[in-house]
Chain A
Amino acid sequence: MTLADNFNIQCVKLIFLRYLFLYLFIVAVSSSKGQKLPFQNYGVDKGLIQSQVLSITQDKQRHLWIGTFSGIDRFDGTTFRHYTKRDGINSAIPTALFTAADGKIWLGTFLGVSCFDGNRFVNYPADQKSENSFFQNFAQDKSGKIYVFSQADGLFMFQNNKFSRIKLPYSGATPVALSAGVAGQVLVYFKTGEVYSVENASWKLLNRINNPDANEWVVIGTEYNNIQFHVSSKGFLLKVSGGNILQRQKINAQTITSICSGKDGNIWIGTDKGVLLFDSGNLELKASYNASAGLTDNVVRTIFKDADDNIWIGSDGDGLYRYSGSLFTRFDKSTGLPGNIIMGLIKDRAGNPYLATKEGDLVKYDIKEQKIKHTGYAEVSKSGINCIEIDSASNIFIGTIDNRLLKYDGKKFSEILLDKGRSSGVNTIAAFGNKLWIATSSGCYFLENNNLGKVPGLNEMVIGLLPLNDTVILMSGIKGAYEYHLNGPLRKIKKFENTDILGFYSYRQYILIGTIDEGLLCWNRTSDKVDTCDISDGLADNMIFSIYKDPENSLWIGSGTGLQRVLYDDANGRFKVRKFTNADGYESVETSMNTITADGLGQVWIGTTKGAFRYNASTTVAATAAPYIVIQAVSSENAVEKTNLENTTPWNNLDASMVLSYQHNSITFGFKGISFKDPASVTYSYQLVGADPEFSAPVSQNSVLYKNLKPGNYTFRVKAFNGEGIPSANIAEYRFTVSTAFYQTVYFRIAAIALLILSGVLLQIFISKMKQQRFRKIELLRIKEQEIIREKTSEDFHDELGNKLTRISLLTDILQKKLELNEDGKEAIVHKIRENVTALYSGTKDIIWSLSPGSDSLKEILNRILVLGNELLNESGIEFSFSGIQDISENITLSMDYSRNLVMIYKELLNNTVKHAGAGKVSIQVSVADPGDVTIEMADNGAGFNPTEVKRGNGLNNISRRAERINATLTIQSGEGKGSLFVLKFRIPPKGVR
């Protein structure tokens, strides 16, 4: 060959290779196109604030924070809570989000940086940040310093309440990327390949990426298993360890925006059109996901892995997606199947599943090549397929919707005619041994060695078929269930006369029966016992379409609305049901009849009306993570709208110190177990410490009302469980108080008791006072009574006496008159009698006076002496005066003997003075000095006498005696010709002042 020939050949080879490559590439692409993953989309319809997601982070309570073009959302698994400029952010566009070690959320926006502390946003400026540059990401070093990076403006650190550019390790250094190292370091990549760690603005060179291409540097990166994965400025995925590029792979995308490592070692790369999935081991492209796989065709700006290993993908215009791994892979029209309604699913000898759809066509899924292969049915028939079956010779029999029975031997199709002139719809085909049983709408046929037979006596629609052995078959139709022995009788199975049976399945020593409305029946033919598994055992519904026993001996039950895996405990007749839900990546959808089987790799395939699902037992899907419980709301009748942020807890804005009044003593709690994979299956258990003895049984309602709480201190505790019963790692608590009614407080009680005591005391005092008063009144009455009696007695006495004396006086007067004319001597005696009577008369008058009530008053006594004195001295010509009586208090009282004796003393004195003194003037003076000394001075200007010489006549003796009786002192001053002075002094006895 000439060189030219060689060259031509080379060219041709090249061209060929190129096309081959292209072909392979296409194939590779289309094979990866064959899967649909369960991406859960959250768009504006689900409450997302805006459909263009820029950044994502997760806070300490596991809420997801999503930054969009219209602001920030906080997501708890079901509800999005918006934060906008109105809440204080300086710009609505957070291009970078970060959760610091203390829980605060940092936002990088076009205008600088904002920080949310749970209550409000505080905005910080960033020095020397150009207007149009945006922040890419944050990092925090071990000392707590926050860094933020912008490709246009470089690296900033937070200090002194603002972000400012820090000094770089050497002049001219150009930082190109910021990332967090596994050991908590902050790593900064430089254009020239150095990797530094920075702490508190001090640099430390770690290593240098040995890249021969000086024009290629790190743009974004992630880490997995201690190996760094970077996207370079030239669009390569680099696997780097210790500064060495271990491997590189070109990323076929126009724009690369984000990178994230998944738990299973997949490297997720966000591009301008969906995401690419690379294997971290060999850097091979595993998959490309966009709209056809259930993701987006738009730019993916950010990919975030949360604490439960869910992958969150933020798209530009299609909102937010979550990928939580899936137990199932889905195949449908969009992934290459001829239709979505799978009517038949069987596997061949090699373990490849065959899928037949109602829309038409029969395809084979090659498990080795992992791709769908057509069988050529489409050329033979355009009709949809009702059912398929494979026999031991690997022939596939197909019942079509246009009532034909076809046979496919692997190469070509042929038709089997059942009844000449009559076409019956084929419902089910069952192969057993050499025989092929065909259930149609007009009875049951059997085919053996190309010989067609029909079950006699059965001309109705037959649906269920189960050959028990070579000669016995169980059948079910509209009119009941039958047992047919070949060449024998057709027997109706009485037991299931009224059961609508869709299909039979042989399982150990039982016959499993799928019914329309009674669930799954498990029939022990020997004992004739039937156990039922239905909704009450956990099935999604009672319409059983498909039954399959997998290689692990668990039963797969496909029902009208779902798929479940059942374990039969035949000893107890009980069933353990594991239902598959959205969280598992399974959609609740109707399983078709007889369309569950396991492929050669042990993966179970399920045919439904919305495609085929393949169960990947080996998929490492994180068990649904434990939820994180938060209390979201606390409200009460008397709770006022909280306008004051000062008194609310951060993050959830609960009233920091709630005190309920005893009149409004009910409270409602709203709480949430934050779980993203399966929020609907979260259950809650709570306890109000102070009212509940223990935690409640789990319930799905996420709020609880407590009413009529007694005064006291309470703590509300709540925890959450995920669908598999795993409890939340935390227990949320809320403390509050119900104030005691004022009538229950200690102070009130004390006051009440004090009041009672006081009133008791007062009552006592009052009663005793009343008693005293009454007593006094009685006393007064008694005294008055006494006085009246005394008066009366004395009156009676002296009236009697007085009258008698008067009589004597009158009689002596008369006698005197009659005697006047006779002897003197008798007259004198009569006169004396008269005198004595008069004296006696007046004497008794004194006694009467001293008994009268007024006579105990000193003033009265003195007045009496005055009157007596006047009467005595009226006709004597002696001037008489008595002074000082007005100044005597009326309240000074003396006892009876005082009054009597005082009067007698002065009567005697005055009498003596009149008789002997020869005075012209008599004056008496009285005075009372404190504390009760009375002084009475009687003076006359008469002849006087010698006190010692004068014979002690009865007069002075009497006076002295009387003075002694009242403890008075009597001093006499007198001298011949000097007149006389009598001074009487005595003390008022203590009782004497009223």
Chain B
Amino acid sequence: MQSSNEEIQNIRIVIIEDDETIRTGYEYMLGNQPGFEVSGAYDSYEAAAAFVFEIEPDIILLDVQLPGKRGVDVIPAIKKKLPAVHVLILTVYESEEVIFAALKNGASGYLTKNISTDKIVEAIYEVMKGGGAMSAGIAKLVMQSFRINHNSPLSKRETEILEAIADGKSRSKIALNLFIDLETVKTHIKNIYQKLDVNSKEEAIRVARESKFI
């Protein structure tokens, strides 16, 4: 577990984005970032699939609006072959359902396309550490998801934080309000994500089981 950003050496990124300008733009911006290496950039999953499993990147930036197979749907295949990779999905307008589906499928986080490169770098670092940003809308969906499952695996603090996020509060604000430090907040969110992952997996199993009974 890394404690500071500087200790991470050479994060290897693969970009899957069909818009040429954006793809080449990210490639340039991230490529010029110290400590980052763009190992590959593809315009479709099919194009990436031939190489990505050999490359074994640390991060995959995945556009949700890909031609051919939907971005959300390829995540499980990627995670199967590369369980350690962090998949960050790229969305235009934070479509909550899409992001939530992606998170349930195993994505580690998401990014809106229009943000600055700095923010992208920050998000990548966070994701590498576990946890990550969560929007208010996402937080709401996460709460709903856990609520459907009667035995909510979230702790009280986690629920508190999740609710605060759902209200739109920033992580630093939350840390201020709860008299805890930012890192703790981030850890909590990471845990929430992990539980969500487990939870989503459990839900998938349950749905599969239920469908057998129908």
Contact = CB atoms under 8 A, between A and B. Distances in A.
A838 B169 CA distance: 21
Nearest to A872: B168
B29 interface: yes
A805 B92 CA distance: 10
A875 interface: yes
Contact of B22 (A795, A803, A841, A866): A803
Given A798-B92, A866-B168, A874-B173, A807 B117 contact: no
B191 interface: no
Which 9 pairs show the lowest CB-CB distances between chains A and B?
Answer: A870-B168, A867-B168, A810-B25, A802-B92, A874-B170, A806-B113, A807-B21, A867-B136, A841-B114
Nearest to A867: B168
B32 to A, nearest CB: 7
Contacts of A809: 114
A560 interface: no
Contacts of B95: 795
Contacts of A841: 114
Contacts of A867: 136-137, 167-168
B113 A871 contact: no
A44 to B, nearest CB: 98
12 contacts: A798-B93, A802-B93, A802-B113, A803-B19, A807-B19, A810-B29, A813-B116, A813-B117, A844-B93, A845-B93, A848-B93, A870-B169
Interface in A485-511: none
A817 B31 CA distance: 13
Interface residues of A, number: 28
Interface string A849-879: 0000000000000000011111100110000
Interface in A589-624: none
A754 interface: no
B28 interface: yes
B168 A806 contact: no
A9 interface: no
B26 interface: yes
Nearest to A806: B113
A17 interface: no
A806 B32 contact: no
Contacts of B32: 817
B65 interface: yes
A811 interface: yes
Q: Which of B19, B65, B117, B169 has the most CB of A within 10 A?
A: B169
Contacts of B94: 845
Given A799-B65, A870-B169, A813 B25 contact: yes
A869 B114 contact: no
Interface string A800-840: 00110111011101100100000000000000000001100
Contact of B25 (A811, A837, A874): A811
Contacts of A866: 167-168
A869 B168 contact: yes
A841 B114 CA distance: 8
Interface in B114-144: 114, 116-117, 136-137
B10 interface: no
| Interface-centre pick from A807, A810, A841 (highest chain B CB count, 10 A) | A810
A813 B29 contact: yes
A179 B21 CA distance: 151
A838 B19 CA distance: 19
B26 A810 contact: yes
Contact of B29 (A814, A837, A869, A870): A814
Interface string B32-71: 1000000000000000000000000000000001000000
B155 interface: no
A813 B117 CA distance: 8
Nearest to A875: B170
Given A868-B168, A875-B170, A806 B92 contact: yes
A482 B69 CA distance: 142
A802 B115 CA distance: 11
SS of A interface (majority): helix
A810 B116 CA distance: 8
Interface string A868-898: 1111001100000000000000000000000
Contact of A874 (B28, B93, B117, B172): B172
Given A798-B92, A848-B93, A870-B168, 4 more contacts: A798-B93, A799-B92, A813-B29, A838-B114
Contacts of B65: 799
Contact of A806 (B114, B136, B170): B114
Contacts of B114: 802, 805-806, 809, 837-838, 841
Contacts of B22: 803, 806-807, 810
A868 B65 CA distance: 26
A799 B22 CA distance: 13
Contacts of B169: 870, 874
A981 to B, nearest CB: 23
A160 B55 CA distance: 138
A814 B28 CA distance: 8
Interface string B3-38: 000000000000000010110011011001000000
Contacts of A874: 168-170, 172-173
Nearest to A840: B114
A813 B114 CA distance: 11
A811 B113 CA distance: 13
B185 to A, nearest CB: 13
A296 to B, nearest CB: 111
Contacts of B168: 866-871, 874
Contacts of B92: 798-799, 802-803, 806
A870 B167 contact: yes
Contacts of A875: 170, 172
B170 A817 contact: no
A866 B165 CA distance: 11
B34 to A, nearest CB: 14
Nearest to A849: B93
B166 to A, nearest CB: 8
A870 B137 CA distance: 13
Interface string A383-411: 00000000000000000000000000000
Contacts of B173: 870, 874
B163 to A, nearest CB: 12
A838 B114 CA distance: 7
Contacts of B19: 803, 806-807
A920 B129 CA distance: 34
Interface in B80-103: 92-95
B25 A814 contact: yes
Given A848-B93, A874-B169, A810 B21 contact: yes
Contacts of B167: 866-867, 870
A841 B169 CA distance: 21
Nearest to B95: A795
Nearest to B135: A867
Contacts of B170: 870-871, 874-875
Contacts of A803: 19, 22, 92, 113
Nearest to B118: A813
Interface string A640-682: 0000000000000000000000000000000000000000000
A795 B96 CA distance: 12
A640 to B, nearest CB: 67
A476 B154 CA distance: 145
Interface string A778-808: 0000000000000000010011001101110
A234 B116 CA distance: 166
A795 B93 CA distance: 9
A523 B97 CA distance: 133
A873 to B, nearest CB: 8
A609 B52 CA distance: 150
Contacts of A837: 114
Nearest to B117: A813
A888 to B, nearest CB: 15
Nearest to A841: B114
Nearest to B92: A802
B29 A817 contact: yes
Interface string B151-183: 000000000000000011110110000000000
